[in-house]
Amino acid sequence: MHSLFARVFSAFWIAILGFAVVATAITAINFAADANEPRAVTRDAANVLREDGLEGLEKWLKARNARHPGQRTLVVDPSGRDILGQALPRRPRPLPPGTDARPPGADDRFRDRPPPSAMSRPRHGPPGAVIHSADGTAYVVLFDPPPRRGAFSPPFSGPARAVLLALAIAISGLVSFLLARSISRPLGELQRTARTLADGRLEARTSPAVAARGDELGALAREFDTMAERLSALIAARQQLLRDLSHELRSPLARLRMAVDLARQPGADPAREFERIEREGERLETLIAQILQYARLERDPATLERRPVDVVEILRQVVHDAEYESQSPPGRITLATPSSIPELRADPQLLHAAFDNVLRNALLHGGEGPIEIDARDDAAAVTVSVRDHGPGVPPAELERIFEPFYRVHDATTAAPHGSGIGLAVAAKAVQLHGGSLMAENSSGGGLQMTFTLPRNA
């Protein structure tokens, strides 16, 4: 039985039928006890009458009627009156002569006694069970209202039992069917949606009826839709990355081809063209290295090589390398740090790459003004800010500058240059450490990049 619907349906149906069988057995036992109730009451009344006499029977009868107000018990004496003076349910009728109305199981001490005279029996009395006192006086036990009898009165008749069994099977089957369908239908909807996503239609989502459910299946459908949205965004970003990558690689290759063609022209300056070819090759090498670095960052944070690192020492190395490569004048890049910052558990290579890319971005786009690096420490995180005094970035593009290959195009900025992937590498490296990298335009001009590296990441 491989169908979830069939398994759920059969399981619930078997369980309900099992409960029905147990309930039927218990009910049958109770009905049997109820069916024997008049006989048991008559037997108790006969025993009380023989042992305690008429006075004891009156006390017993009062107590029983007090316990069972819904059904009166009457004991009619030979004169046709109830011994407690209760009103009889109907006009008494004479008992047939020679009737031995001892209840089954009564005391057999009077079995061989000759039938009492007519004066010892009630001359008038409705049909009922006859009990005898020690002296042989007959009394009639009545019930008002009398025990019910009918097709659905205990004990049940054969047709009534068949009807009840058929109703139990039909109702339990219907309930099991509805319950199994309410579970299997949403799962089938999720299966169809997953198959649609697998076919490449990334817009597929579960139906609103399933997502609106308030149970675990509805929560699963909503999580599935969230996963589908993230998957769609991720695939779209990868496709855009491939398009940008192909464009970025095509540009230096085209310039390399052009330089080679120019070098072959008569009268060309091979040295100048070779210098151009060398410069384009270096740009291509740098671009490929950054692309590979970004690809390596697309991994699980658990794979990071975390160890205690000195953030201040990493910043000093980054500043020294940047000053040497950019040939910046002394004092242009300033580093302000507290006297000591406790070591941070992190991947030193990733932190170095993140700080280095942001600082190079400031050197490339921050004009000729100073660049200020400030490191602060508190109990929760280490914060590092890098500020230049260049033209800044349009507010609408502050979030997009961390996208791979995105470069700002604005009349107030310099012409777009660079690979456009350095800030994406920095943001991804910080994200893998559980931190964040934010960009904002400073009030005094320029762009400020702020690293936040939590200590408990």
Per-residue pLDDT tens digits for 263-281: 888 877 888 888 888 877 8
Last residue of a domain, one of 239, 273, 298: 298
In a domain, 356, yes or no: yes
Residue 372 β-bridge partners: 334, 387
247-274 exposure pattern, b = at least 16 Cβ within 10 A, e = fewer: ebeeebeebbeebeeebeeeeeeeeebe
Per the structure, the count of domains in the chain is 3
| Residue 273 neighbours by CB under 8 Å, 6+ apart | 259, 260, 262, 263
Decide: helix, strand or coil at residue 86.
Answer: coil
Q: Yes or no: say if 28 and 152 are a contact pair by the CB < 8 Å rule.
A: no
* Arithmetic mean of pLDDT, 410-437: 72
Could you tell me which residue, 231 or 385, shows the higher pLDDT? 385
Decide if 25 is inside a domain. no
Is residue 230's pLDDT more than 80?
A: yes
pLDDT tens digits, one per residue of 23-78 = 776 666 555 555 456 778 888 889 998 888 989 999 999 998 888 887 788 999 88
Residue 332 CA to residue 342 CA, distance in Å, equals: 27
User: CATH number for the domain including 316?
Assistant: 3.30.565.10
Q: What is the pLDDT of residue 373?
A: 93
436-441 and 381-387: which strand pairing? Answer: unpaired
Whether residue 238 is found in the same domain as residue 369:
no
Number of neighbouring beta carbons within 10 Å of residue 335: 17
Residue 396 has pLDDT above 90, yes or no: no
Q: Is the peptide bond before 155 cis (omega within 30 degrees of 0)?
A: yes
Domain assignment of residue 139, given as a range: 36-144
Domain co-membership, 449 together with 316: yes
**Pair (449, 435) in one structural domain:** yes
Count of alpha carbons within 13 Å of 139, Cβ hemisphere only?
28
Examine the domain organization and report whether 411 and 315 are in the same domain: yes
Mean per-residue pLDDT, 344-354:
88
Q: How far apart are CA 146 and CA 377, in angstroms?
A: 93
Alpha helices in 298-421 (DSSP H): 311-326, 348-365
Q: What is the mean pLDDT of residues 218-234?
A: 84
162 lies in a domain? no
Q: Give dist(CA 224, CA 401) in Å, integer.
A: 30
Confidence of residue 113 (pLDDT cuts 50, 70, 90): very low
* 328 is a domain residue: yes
Distance between CA atoms of 108 and 106, rounded to whole angstroms?
A: 6
116 secondary structure, DSSP code: P
The region, left, alpha or beta by phi > 0 then psi within -120 to 50, assigned to residue 147 is beta
Same domain, 237 and 292: yes
With 50 as the cut, is the pLDDT of residue 118 above it? no
β-partners of residue 439 are 449
Of 292, 282, 221, 225, the C-alpha closest to 252 is 282
Domain end, chosen from 266, 298, 330, is at: 298
Residue 151 lies in a domain: no
Burial class of residue 166 (count of CB atoms within 10 Å of its CB; 0-12, 13-18, 19+): exposed
Rounded Cα distance between 426 and 432, Å, is 10
Q: What is the dihedral of CA 167, 168, 171, 177, to 10 degrees?
A: -130
Rounded CA-CA distance 207/134 in Å is: 84
Q: Which two tokens stand for residue 399?
A: 């979030």
Of 337, 457, 370, 362, give the one whose Cα is nearest residue 418. Answer: 362
Nearest residue to 142 via CA among 92, 199, 76, 190: 76
Looking at 91, 123, 144, which one is the last position of a domain?
144
The predicted structure's pLDDT at residue 457: 61
Summarize pLDDT for 238-262 with one digit per residue, the tens: 776 677 667 667 767 887 888 888 8
**Model pLDDT, residue 134:** 85
- Please identify which residue in the block is written with the tokens 């070779």: 274
pLDDT of residue 1: 44
Q: What's the predicted TM-score (pTM) here?
A: 0.48
Query: Are both 339 and 284 inside the same structural domain?
Result: no
393 in any annotated domain: yes
Q: Which two tokens stand for residue 211?
A: 């997502």
Residue 160 has pLDDT above 70, yes or no: no
What CA–CA distance (Å, rounded) separates 240 from 420? 14
Max mean pLDDT range (166-175, 241-250, 379-388, 408-417):
379-388
Residue 112 CA to residue 108 CA, distance in Å, equals 8
Residue 180 placed within a domain: no
Identify the top-confidence range among 192-196, 248-252, 302-306, 399-403.
192-196
User: In the chain, what is the greatest distance between 2 CA atoms, to the nearest angstrom?
Assistant: 158
Report d(CA 361, CA 213) in Å as an integer. 50
In this prediction, residue 103 has a pLDDT band, given cuts at 50, 70 and 90, of very low
pLDDT band at 317 (very low <50, low <70, confident <90, very high): very high
> Angle at Cα 275 formed by Cα 270 and Cα 278, nearest 5°?
120
Give yes or no for a contact between 386 and 371, defined as CB atoms under 8 angstroms apart: yes
